[in-house]
Amino acid sequence: MSSVAALAQAAGILPGYRDLTGTDRPTGPETAQALLAAMGLAAATEIEAAASLAALEAARSARHLPDWLVVAEGCAPELTVPAGWRIELEGGDVLEGRAEDPLPALPLGIHRLSVGAEEATLLSAPPALPLPARGWGVVLPLYGLRDAGRGGLGDYADLRQALEGFAGLGAGFVGVNPIHAGFPADPRAISPYSPSHRRRFNVAHLAVPGEAARPGGDLVDYPSAIAARLAALKAAFAGLQADALSELAAFRAAEGPELERFARHQALSDRFGPYWPDWPADYRICDGPAVSAFAAANGEAVAFHAWLQLLAWTQLAAIREAGAAAGMRQGLYLDLAVGTHPAGAETWAETGAKTGAEAGGDPGLFARGVSLGAPPDAFAPQGQSWGLAPMRPGVLAARGFRPLAEILRAQLRFAGLLRIDHILGFERTFWVPEGGAPGGYVKMPRAALLAVARIEAARAGAVIVGEDLGNVPEGLREDLAASGLLGCRLAMFDPDMADWPEPVLGSFGSHDLPPFAAWGAGRDIDWHLRLGHIAPEQAEALGAERAARAQALSVRLGGVGVDALHAALAASPARLVALQTEDMLGATEQANLPGTVDSHPNWRRRIGPAAADLADCEPVRRAAHVMARAGR
């Protein structure tokens, strides 16, 4: 085995994989070297790779402790230590003992064990989360919650109205796509799955009292809608009274440096543009002197962006409380994006002035020169590159998995149900090098990541759903079920709904797939053909296959209408069922067409009725009746 291949194996780069077409794809040297470079491991030559491998093996052999250990909540770690020990509990308390003293039982949380100069993370988690009671809910597009007559962009007040309406019909949750902080300085950057920061929230959806109606068409006009909303928010901020300013000061003090860093980033984006790698060099270092000077000279601008986050917290808390008051079991159902934009606030926060040895050798959380993506499939024969920065697994572990815990905690502050997009990344992530080399898989610490999810869900009393679709690694679904995390099942791909396992959330499709009325007609295939993604002969074959699948589904359902579909979903063993608003309303276009940005109107379609009227629509009430009749 070459030194490059040996180093790649030691670093967790898989030697190859089998894609969805059944093709075996080995990880070649070019891919291995690009992925190793993204991990901060020199491997441009065999000599470099051998040296990197020797250093890596020497560091590992010198350790007596594991890097991390999962411990059952309330139990002691099964670990023998060679010397006196010290455990710093997550809450700040410290426990100490001699080598002969047994390690203590640990409370829920992420704790730090120290033995001499060595440290290990102890993840004290419940072995499994309790499964939710049988129920149902609705998923809808937040951006499209306003009818064409009112126009503009759906906001958190619209979401609250929709949630209250569906609660009255017996729904246990209302779900939306990710509401992470985006790029308000770039109104074209509208994908909720390409966020700027996953611990902060999208201010483009803030409700502004008295906002004027902006009648428009069936598609949301983001530039004008965001410009109008930000102008109204700036006017509201200028008029804040003393009590509101005092509340803002308390919020900033409680949130500390992380919020300040984010607010500074947003203010700098207003000045220099949305993407920090394009800024003047001095401002690309988040804790550098130029940024500090900017913040001191532009205090009002920084305070404005901190206030927007306070406003988001306030409005999301109101939604959470409205769901609880209405008796909803889960209330708000949020979605966690699989990665973050490489030029957003989350990655900028990793550009501190202290680097290298001065920062303890921490190379930064996010890999550079690669993107998260997916291997080839029928619609993307070259594979997909999503333009998202992956977390380096070694750095994530060295930081005690706290970055993931903090991201989860931010969402679970307001959500009783959280979907983790592409949870396949808990087992392995597909990294695509810049420059054209094929992508390859990087192994992730599955047991640790699942433990972190259980810890944060247990704290919040929430339910976690993992999107386990696509090229699913062996054993992942079994581990999800053992952890009490729900998997996903889509009737579009798995039509034997009566045979679904119990610990799943079931639905017909998703935001990346055509709604029920368009699926049988092959509307998505038409789009891919029109845009040149597939050849005419391939489109014809896919269309014939789709027609056969649609016919088979209608036979299985005993009917061709959406009511028959909903009845089968309701009768399935799935603990939770999510109905898509577009399915209920008979939409014929999908929200997002994967592999497109501007050539398809992604994330722009209105659903038709206004948020306050949704629950009164006859097909919606009919679907709710189907759920109730099935005992959900």
Q: Quick check: is 612 in a domain?
A: no
**Residue 588 has what pLDDT?**
94
Residue 268 domain-assigned (yes or no): no
- Residue after which a domain boundary falls, among 104, 125, 146: 125
pLDDT at 355 over 50: no
When pLDDT is averaged across residues 1-9 and rounded to a whole number, the result is 95
Q: For residue 562, give the nearest of 572, 573, 553 by alpha carbon.
A: 553
Query: What's the pLDDT score for residue 439?
Result: 94
Pairing of strands 417-420, 331-336: parallel
Instruction: Average the pLDDT over 298-318 and give the result.
Output: 98
The reply to whether 565 falls in a domain is no
For 443, phi then psi, to 5°, come to -70, 140
Residue 363's pLDDT is what?
59
Q: Is 182 part of a structural domain of the chain?
A: no
- Give the pLDDT confidence score for residue 19 in this predicted structure: 83
- The mean pLDDT value of the chain amounts to 94
Q: Are residues 113 and 82 in the same domain?
A: yes
Domain boundary among 61, 80, 96: 61
Least confident stretch, 225-234, 251-260, 359-368:
359-368
| Cβ contact 133:464 at 8 Å | no
Residue-range definition of the domain harbouring residue 75: 68-125
Residue 360 has what pLDDT? 40
| Segment 473-526, tens digit of pLDDT | 989 999 999 999 999 999 999 999 999 999 999 999 999 999 999 999 999 999
**Same domain assignment for residues 28 and 73:** no
Strands 85-88 and 109-115, by their bridges, are: antiparallel
Q: Is position 14 within any domain? A: yes
- Per-residue pLDDT tens for 593-614? 988 888 999 999 999 999 999 9
Residue 207 belongs to a domain: no
In a domain, 586, yes or no: no
Decide: helix, strand or coil at residue 349.
coil
Residue 82 domain-assigned (yes or no): yes
Joined tokens for residue 242 = 């003393």
Does pLDDT of 357 surpass 70? no
Split into its structural domains, the chain has a count of 2
- Beta strands 428-433 and 440-443 are antiparallel
- What's the CA angle centered on 218, arms 215 and 222, to 5 degrees? 70
- By the 8 A CB rule, do 115 and 85 touch? yes
- Longest Cα separation, the chain: 74
Looking at the fold, whether 8 and 34 belong to one and the same domain comes out as: yes
Task: List all residues 6 or more positions away from 287 whose beta carbon is below 8 Å from its beta carbon.
Answer: 261, 352, 353, 354
pLDDT (tens digit per residue) in 150-198: 999 999 999 999 999 999 999 999 999 999 999 999 989 999 999 999 9
**Does 84 lie in the same domain as 114?**
yes
In this prediction, residues 106-116 reach a mean pLDDT of 97
Specify the pTM. Answer: 0.95
Task: Kindly write down the DSSP assignment for every residue of 249-278, as one continuous string.
Answer: HHHHHHHHHHHHHHHHHHHHHHHH-S-GGG
Distances (CA, A) of 620 to 324, 563, 617: 22, 10, 5
User: What gap in Å lies between CA 513 and CA 212, rounded to an integer?
Assistant: 34
